[in-house]
Every structure is written in C-alpha cells, then in structure tokens.
Structure 1
C-alpha cells in the first residue's frame, strides 16, 4: 500500500512474489551439494506445471460437458504444450551424473515423486481409476484418500466425459466421427488432440524410466521403493483407449469392405 492509501502498481517481482518463490529452495545435503539446487528446482517447476494442467484439464472437462468443442480443444492443446515442456525439463536431470546424485541422495530419505498428490490427482482426472490403482492409492494414504484426491474422484474423469462426447453431440460414437472427419470437424480435431495427450504421457513415462535407469541403474529401487520394472509396466497406460481402438475398428471395417468387393 502506498503511503497515500492508493494501491501501488505491481512490479514484475511483486506480481510473481519472487521474494518468496526464490526462498523456497532449501537443499538438505551437508555440506550443501552444488547439484541439489537443480534437482529441487526441476521438481518444484514440475509441480507448478501439474497445478496448471489440473486447472486447464478441469476447464476442458467442463467445456466437453457443455459441448463447447473449440474451447475444450484449446485447453487440451495447452496441456499438451505443457507436457512437452515437462519432458524437456525432466531431461535436464540427465545432466546430473550418477556419482553426484549419490552424494546427496541419502539426505532425501524416503521422499519420492510417487508421493506427489498433484501427479495422482492428474491421473485420476485423466481417467486412471481402475480398482487396483485406487486400492494402491488408499494403501499409500492409510486406507483413505486425501480430500483433494477424493474430490477429483467424486467428479467424472476427462476420459469418461470424452467417451460420451460424440453421443451427446448426436454424432453416434467415435467411430462415426473418425469415419467422416469433414462432417464432425471439431470433434475429430478434439479426438486427435486427446490422442496426442495420451501419446505425450507415454513419452513422459518413458523419459522418466530412462532417467531413473541413467542415474541410479535398473536393479535399484528409488527412494520411494519403486523399481524400474514398475515404471516400465506403467508405460502402456492409456487414458483414452477408445480413441486408440477406433483405429483398429476403422482398419477392420475397411478390410471387410475390401473383402466383399
């Protein structure tokens, strides 16, 4: 507040709260390892991006429910851009050599990215809700989900809303959309963007696996107890399997037509 009682014009620093933001990096290593700052900042930045993605994909889900396809498409595209940036950002940790990481790894205790509530919220929002996964989450959190995760789970997932989008629009199902993309242009483009979102998550998981193996090796468990084999099994997760299945259905239908002509 200005002495005259008039609100002061924001500055770059005050708007972004840089005085607070830049004080949030506190390496635990003793003596402080010079590479730990990079490790902390990379993970903090990813958490900030997770926050934006949850915000944008929640908006995308709302637009899907309202059948405002162009706005839903815009938000999914933004999420894809963020995922692409995250993959590159994660890759910077590949410049952390194994011995350097081992010199401060012990100070991390059992702290692990698997404890990221926002990452789990994203997976639930995207549509990863099979019973086995939910049971794993409950065990991790003492048999009951934290309120933020329970809140995400109480609403439809992005995948559930997307699966019903063609029917809600009177376009049949996704096979009908892909069989006639000119007629269903906005929905077709949305389907392609959601498929790209799925693809980029696959790339994200692959990059994460390779990063873990590059730094600590394949046969060693991470600080949170996860093995590289567990990470490898997760690579095949699909949030929108119906969009991948459409390709098979189109190909099968084309083969049947060719067989009858």
Structure 2
C-alpha cells in the first residue's frame, strides 16, 4: 500500500518554480522506473553513482578555473577554489559509504544489470585523472620557473610558507584525497565482490591496486623524502634515547 502510494508521487512529482529551475522532472527520471528495479538497493546504487558524476563535473569545472587563476598568479582565488575541490572529494568518499549497506547477494543482483560496465569507465573520473598533468605544468611554470625557485627552496632552504608553498600543499591534498577515494573504492569492492574475483571485463579486480598507488605530483611527495634524508645527515639516523639511562644493579640494604 505505502509503496504504491509514494512511488506514484516520486515518479509524477508536482513541479513548481523550484523544481522547474532544477529540472526535477528530468532529474527524477534519470533512474530506472521503480517497478523495473532488480531489488530495493538498485535505486541507491544508481543515485550514488549519478551524484558522484555530478560532483566530478563540478570538480572539473572548478579545476578549470584553478588553472586559469594560476596562470595569472591569483593565488587567493586558487587557494579558495582548491578548498572547494577538497570538500567535494571528501563528500564523494563519505557518500560511498552508503554502498556498504548492501549485502554481497544484493550487489550481485545489481551487477547483472551493468553489462560489461565498470567504474573505470566513469566519464567524470576519466577526465579528472587527466587534469593533474596540466595543474603541474601551470604550477611549475608560474610558481617555480618564473620565480626562479625550486621545490626544495619552497619547502626547506627558503621556506616562508608563501603562496607557492600553500598552493603546492593544496595540490598534495588533492592528490592524497584522490588516492584515498580510489582505495576506498577498493575496500568497497573487497566487501562486496572480493579482491580475488574478476571484473565484468574478465580482468582480476586486484589490478585496480596499481591505479590506487599512483601519485599525480611525485615531485611534491619526493621532497619530503629528500628533506628527511638531508636532516638525517646532520643529526644522525639513529639518535640517543631521550629516556634517561637507569642505574644498573641494586643498592645494598
């Protein structure tokens, strides 16, 4: 009774100005008809992935602005927009947790609806992973080369916590959050279909680990190793303990 009552309202909503502006009549038809769902979790599966595509669309659009503002060294704009990108990345990871409410059995039923589809075919993700190369090119030119500086100077020998450093760290955070998103996706796969199974294209799911290990800004990660090794040369790799040495033996009574 309740399913029929509210399903009809969902599929034929009253569209007023707010709904017209958001094109809710189109938006709410982007999922399978409720009576065609293979199980009650399929609607969630579709919506989560559709929303992820929308967040990635906004992220890509924002990163295009970031590239343009970096070219004119409008650093405050860059930093503000990168904060937005980071928030979007965190939301994407958080909402993926919804999919862990599915049982492996129910996911297998949904998986049959995907044909040979895979998350690796996500149009938003395929564009998103191309952008870091341009981000690095523009950052390297305008914040390193044109300023006659180096990553080492920005982070260590001439460290000032200036705009070059803050933007570099915003790129590191973007990279880190993207890696976390990919690893979270792997954990979701492990929980639903297992890591030793094969994808819908017949490839071992375990191959996805290689992508999750990828770093888009290796220079910004490597500087940390270089700094630590350089510091280690001055204070030694193995230092004396900060715990006072205890006297050995016992005092005579």
TM range, smaller chain: 0.7 to 0.9
State yes or no: 1:189 paired with 2:166.
yes
* TM-score, length-scaled by structure 2: 0.80
Distance in 2 (CA, whole Å) between partners of 1:31 and 1:249 is 54
Distance in 2 (CA, whole Å) between partners of 1:32 and 1:117 is 25
State yes or no: 1:61 paired with 2:64.
no
Q: Conserved in 2, the CA contact under 8 Å of 1:29 and 1:107?
A: no
**Residue deviations 1:166-194 (CA, integer Å, cap 9, x gap):** 32451501211112342x52221111111
| TM-aligned CA deviation for residue 107 of structure 1 | 2.1
Q: Which runs of 4+ in 1 moved over 6 A?
A: none
| TM-aligned CA deviation for residue 250 of structure 1 | 2.0
Report the CA distance shift for 1:225/1:58 in structure 2 as closer, same or farther (over 3 A): farther
Match of 2:85 among 71, 79, 84: 79
Alignment size in residue pairs: 220
Name the structure 1 match of 2:204: 227
Name the structure 2 match of 1:159: 136
Gaps of 5+ in 2: 1-15, 237-253
Q: Conserved in 2, the CA contact under 8 Å of 1:28 and 1:107?
A: no
In terms of mean alpha carbon deviation, does 202-211 or 167-176 score higher? 167-176
The structure number with the bigger radius of gyration is 2
Distance in 2 (CA, whole Å) between partners of 1:27 and 1:212 is 26
Distance in 2 (CA, whole Å) between partners of 1:54 and 1:87 is 17
| TM-aligned CA deviation for residue 257 of structure 1 | 4.7
Name the structure 2 match of 1:152: none
Report the CA distance shift for 1:192/1:102 in structure 2 as closer, same or farther (over 3 A): same
RMSD, aligned CA: 2.1
Distance in 1 (CA, whole Å) between partners of 2:36 and 2:228 is 60
SS in 2 for 1:110: coil
* TM-score, length-scaled by structure 1: 0.77
Name the structure 2 match of 1:151: none
| TM-aligned CA deviation for residue 70 of structure 1 | 1.4
Name the structure 2 match of 1:249: 226
**Residue deviations 1:50-81 (CA, integer Å, cap 9, x gap):** 10111011111111111111111112111111
Distance in 1 (CA, whole Å) between partners of 2:33 and 2:112 is 12
Gaps of 5+ in 1: 1-9, 128-156
Distance in 1 (CA, whole Å) between partners of 2:164 and 2:29 is 45
SS in 2 for 1:197: helix
Distance in 2 (CA, whole Å) between partners of 1:237 and 1:125 is 14
